[in-house]
Chains A and B, each alone.
Chain A
Amino acid sequence: MKIILYIIKKEFKQIFRNKGMLPIIFILPVLQLVILSNAATYEIKNIQFGYVDTDNSSISRGLIEQFESSTYFNVSEKFPSEKEASQAMQEGTIDAYLNIPTHFERDLQKDKTKDIGVFIDAIDGSAAGVINVYITQIIQNYNKSIVADLIQVSDAVQKPKNIDSIPLFWYNQTLNYKTFMVPGILVLLVTMITLFLSGMNIVREKEIGTLEQINVTPIKKHHFIIGKLFPFWVLGLGLLTIGLILAKVIFNVPMIGNLGLLYVYTAVYILVILGIGLFISNFTDTQQQAMFIAWFFVVIFILMSGLFTPIESMPKWAQKLTEFNPVKYFVEIIRMVMLKGSSFNDVFPLAIKTLVYAIVMNGLAVWSYKKTL
């Protein structure tokens, strides 16, 4: 036990003495949390919108006004013909345009129906889908408002009533995407920093030759490993704390659940990450190699964690793979606890998997750490 304390003391001294490392540990995560949480958004805003209006009637102008008053659209330009509009789309200056044909108002009044063209740049398919929904909504609302002017009273009586659905958004009533993203990005930070630091730490001692010196002492493997990893476990929990404070102060993310539960879970979760870090460092000889391998896993872990894209929409085989992704468990649990207020019983199945993961990973890491070559 005393020996472990000597190692822990030494590690903390080295961490806090390393002028290059401190900013990496504390400032970068803060920047990342602030920047990513503001930038990583699903919301489609500032859609560059153009139109061709060869009708130039009061109804067509009214429709364009609807777009102009929407906060989602930047109505940029009126194109004289379809040719110029499609040219602008080709150049990428507009994301969508509306083509209002000649005699739009006349035909609408006469036939009660008239088609208009909507053209959307669909290179980003999901964004195009969202733009389509926005445009359709605006046109339908406008349609409703002009219907009263167009149809006769008798028709109106016979018309069936619209079915209106009133959505209730649970757990995130204002549909604030930051509420959704900030906890997830916090997971990402805790994971990346602890994985990189722990993975590179032991390899660094290999590189400078002090590990050989350690291996010639009678120190026990598990003493050394516990002493080495404990400081990073503390750092991980420290990062979580800083992140939670920022989440509250800057983003006002609700914290409905029990934070104690979150800390206990994170304590176990960080063990998984430290185990992976140590495992990597056992099989690499330089910090560079360790960094590459750590990156490889981090990218897969993040993209398959449900942080940015829902796991439910992944193919079946990919969904199975995510079972081996510790980040997925943490993302799910932090959202459950913070936003839904889930209790211990709710998170238990995920937590137990994390615990098993921690035991297996650290077992492997200790087993593969060799004092003798």
Chain B
Amino acid sequence: MMKDNNVIQVENLSKLFGDFAAVNQISFQVKAGEIFGFLGANGAGKTTAMKMLIGISSPTSGKATVAGFDVYKETESIKKNIGYMSQKFALYDDLTVKENITFFGGIYGLSKKQIDQKRCELVEELGLQEVTKSLVASLPLGWKQKLAFSVSLLHEPKIVFLDEPTGGVDPITRRQFWEMIYKAAHNGTTIFVTTHYMDEAEYCDRVSIMVNGKIEALDTPKKLKEHYKTDTMNDVFLKLARG
């Protein structure tokens, strides 16, 4: 494994809240262009770990670089190179589709021309032509999620972090969402995704499974299933999470 190829490099990263280690000395690497699944039960520390990597939470100890930048000192440089979609829907409900795209494109420093071009592409790809002037609040959740994902890709980040992006949406939309993820990965974007859905874990190139703040397993879905002698990622997860 060539080190230069790693866009995320994490060594013994920890986050303590008082005595409680939400993230306990985790280490892993993510390669460029990879779809990396970051799995774990509720409260296992996935979101906390992710927040350290995207530069909005300072680690307690350990080392990590994202897109070549240090998570302690170079958070603003990291932010230029990543996209992020939170589990809470995070576009503005009281702005229209068009206004949201313009706003986020604008604060990432895209030119007006770039924004217009990106918006046309995005609207066409998602089939939102009819609703560009509707408030985002009026869209169904699935559409909102797809829009939020597309918005997080506006500035063509090297890595995009998705925190439970498909929570609460129907199976068809989930499927479409994953098609979008594949397309972004195909275009060279690294995908770092957390999820609860074990069928989604099967779509990832590699997955890590976090239990109580530690990474208990990390490999391709195929190898993990072989190792734990099960047929599905679901069983792998249950074996690990139940201990």
Q: How far is the CA of A216 from the CA of B94 in the complex (A)?
A: 20
Decide if A373 touches B58 in the complex (CB within 8 Å): yes
Decide if B90 touches A209 in the complex (CB within 8 Å): yes
Q: How far is the CB of B139 from chain A (nearest CB, A)?
A: 16
Closest chain B residue to A213 by CB distance?
B90
- Contact pattern, A 1-23, Cβ under 8 Å of B = 1, otherwise 0: 01101110110011001100000
Contact status of A10 and B56, CB under 8 A, knowing A208-B93, A213-B86: no
Q: Select A215's contact among B56, B58, B91, B104, beta carbons within 8 Å.
A: B56
Q: How far is the CA of A2 from the CA of B112 in the complex (A)?
A: 10
Q: Is A219 at the interface (CB under 8 A from chain B)?
A: yes
Query: Which residues from chain B contact A18 at a C-beta distance below 8 Å?
Result: 94
Name the interface residues of B75-124: CB closer than 8 Å to any CB of A: 75-77, 79-80, 82, 84, 86, 88-95, 99, 102-104, 106-109
Q: How far is the CB of A227 from chain B (nearest CB, A)?
A: 9
Decide if B55 touches A10 in the complex (CB within 8 Å): no
Name the interface residues of B44-62: CB closer than 8 Å to any CB of A: 51, 54-58
Decide if B92 touches A372 in the complex (CB within 8 Å): no
Q: How far is the CA of A18 from the CA of B82 in the complex (A)?
A: 32
Closest chain A residue to B100 by CB distance?
A10
- The secondary structure that dominates the A interface is helix
Q: Is A214 at the interface (CB under 8 A from chain B)?
A: yes
Decide if A10 touches B103 in the complex (CB within 8 Å): yes
Decide if B95 touches A6 in the complex (CB within 8 Å): no
Name the interface residues of A358-373: CB closer than 8 Å to any CB of B: 371-373
Decide if B55 touches A13 in the complex (CB within 8 Å): no
Name the interface residues of A202-224: CB closer than 8 Å to any CB of B: 208-210, 212-219
Closest chain B residue to A2 by CB distance?
B106
Query: Which residues from chain B contact A210 at a C-beta distance below 8 Å?
Result: 90-92
Closest chain A residue to B99 by CB distance?
A13
Q: Select B88's contact among A5, A17, A209, A215, beta carbons within 8 Å.
A: A209
Query: Which residues from chain A contact B84 at a C-beta distance below 8 Å?
Result: 213, 216
Q: How far is the CA of A219 from the CA of B80 in the complex (A)?
A: 9
Q: How far is the CB of B210 from chain A (nearest CB, A)?
A: 20
Decide if A7 touches B55 in the complex (CB within 8 Å): no
Query: Which residues from chain B contact A213 at a C-beta distance below 8 Å?
Result: 84, 86, 90-91
Query: Which residues from chain B contact A6 at a C-beta distance below 8 Å?
Result: 102-103, 106-107
Contact status of A372 and B86, CB under 8 A, knowing A214-B107, A216-B54, A218-B108: no
Decide if A217 touches B92 in the complex (CB within 8 Å): no
Decide if B57 touches A209 in the complex (CB within 8 Å): no
Question: How many A residues have CB within 8 A of the partner chain?
Answer: 25
Q: Select A219's contact among B55, B92, B94, B107, beta carbons within 8 Å.
A: B107
Query: Which residues from chain B contact A3 at a C-beta distance below 8 Å?
Result: 106-107, 109
Q: How far is the CB of B112 from chain A (nearest CB, A)?
A: 9
Query: Which residues from chain B contact A17 at a C-beta distance below 8 Å?
Result: 94
Closest chain A residue to B71 by CB distance?
A372
Decide if A212 touches B86 in the complex (CB within 8 Å): yes
Most chain A CB inside 10 Å of its own CB: which residue of B54, B89, B106, B107 = B107
Q: Select B79's contact among A7, A13, A216, beta carbons within 8 Å.
A: A216
Q: How far is the CA of A2 from the CA of B109 in the complex (A)?
A: 8
Query: Which residues from chain A contact B54 at a C-beta distance below 8 Å?
Result: 216
Q: Select B56's contact among A13, A209, A216, A219, beta carbons within 8 Å.
A: A216
Q: How far is the CA of A215 from the CA of B57 in the complex (A)?
A: 10
Query: Which residues from chain A contact B109 at a C-beta distance below 8 Å?
Result: 2-3, 218
Q: How far is the CB of A211 from chain B (nearest CB, A)?
A: 9
Q: How far is the CA of A208 from the CA of B93 in the complex (A)?
A: 9
Query: Which residues from chain A contact B103 at a C-beta distance below 8 Å?
Result: 6-7, 9-10
Decide if A373 touches B106 in the complex (CB within 8 Å): no
Q: How far is the CB of A197 from chain B (nearest CB, A)?
A: 15
Q: How far is the CA of A6 from the CA of B102 in the complex (A)?
A: 8
Q: How far is the CA of A3 from the CA of B104 in the complex (A)?
A: 10
Contact status of A217 and B107, CB under 8 A, knowing A212-B88, A372-B75, A373-B57: yes
Most chain B CB inside 10 Å of its own CB: which residue of A6, A14, A17, A371 = A6
Query: Which residues from chain A contact B90 at a C-beta distance below 8 Å?
Result: 208-210, 212-213
Q: How far is the CB of A6 from chain B (nearest CB, A)?
A: 3
- Residue numbers of B with Cβ under 8 A of A are 51, 54-58, 75-77, 79-80, 82, 84, 86, 88-95, 99, 102-104, 106-109
Complex A-B, nearest 5 residue pairs according to Cβ-Cβ distance, in ascending order: A6-B106, A209-B88, A213-B90, A216-B84, A218-B79
18 more CB-based (< 8 A) A-B contacts, given A17-B94, A209-B90, A213-B90: A3-B109, A6-B107, A10-B95, A209-B88, A210-B90, A212-B56, A213-B86, A213-B91, A215-B56, A216-B54, A216-B82, A216-B84, A217-B79, A218-B109, A219-B107, A371-B55, A371-B75, A373-B56
What would 26 A/B residue contacts be, using CB atoms closer than 8 Å?
A: A3-B106, A3-B107, A6-B102, A6-B106, A10-B92, A10-B99, A13-B95, A13-B99, A18-B94, A208-B93, A209-B90, A210-B90, A210-B92, A212-B88, A213-B86, A215-B56, A217-B107, A217-B108, A218-B79, A218-B80, A371-B55, A372-B55, A372-B56, A372-B57, A372-B75, A373-B51
